[in-house]
Amino acid sequence: MIGDPLFDAESIAGRVAAIGEAISRDYAGETPLMIGLLAAAATFMADLARAVTIPCQLDFIAVNKCYDGDGITLEKDAAIPVEGRHVILVDDTVDTGLTLQYVVKRLLERGPASLAVCTLLDRPHRRIADVEIKYRAFEVPDVFVVGYGLDYLGRYRELPALYAHGSWPA
């Protein structure tokens, strides 16, 4: 179901290094708090953290996206207080932007000094919530992407590159 990579490991490493450099420059003299959205952003966040050359702190949050429930909620919250911090929210894919906006709102309620969004993939085709993305590694067309932390029904997260899957989960 997957063929040649959309973006191979070398391309990903290049983009991660460039974003790491940009973050190091933009936040020079600060200790930003990088918050990753579990689980798909974990791989990207781990590489990004090592590409940043300034001190930073890492944390993770998770959202409950089971839509048969009572609506979106934070399933796992950040352990490090956000108030007064320069926060970089690290996402794997921005599609409609609705999940990202939900998380951004929850974090802004806590009074961070600033909040920027960094995403591995930007898929703008279905964008509804126009959340500002400060750092993006790749823009992708309307394809389902797996690998480098992104899964299809739990598979392919371990792959070192990004691939277009032949179908979307039913």
Active site residues: 95
Q: Cα angle vertex 100, ends 72, 71, to 5°?
A: 10
Residue count, binding to other proteins (CB under 8 A): 26
- Rank residues 45 and 56 by Cβ distance to other proteins and give the closer one: 45
Residue 27 sits in the site that holds other proteins (CB under 8 A): no
For residue 116, give the nearest of 42, 27, 39 by alpha carbon: 27
DSSP state of 47: H
Residue 96 sits in the site that holds other proteins (CB under 8 A): yes
Q: What pairs with residue 150 in β-bridges?
A: 147
Q: How far apart are CA 117 and CA 101, in angstroms?
A: 10
* Residues 108-167 within binding reach of other proteins (CB under 8 A): 125-126, 128-130, 142, 144, 151-153
At closest approach, how far in Å is the CB of 139 from other proteins? 17
- Provide the residue type at 75 as one letter: E
- Site residues, other proteins (CB under 8 A): 63-68, 71-72, 95-96, 98-99, 102, 125-126, 128-130, 142, 144, 151-153, 168-170
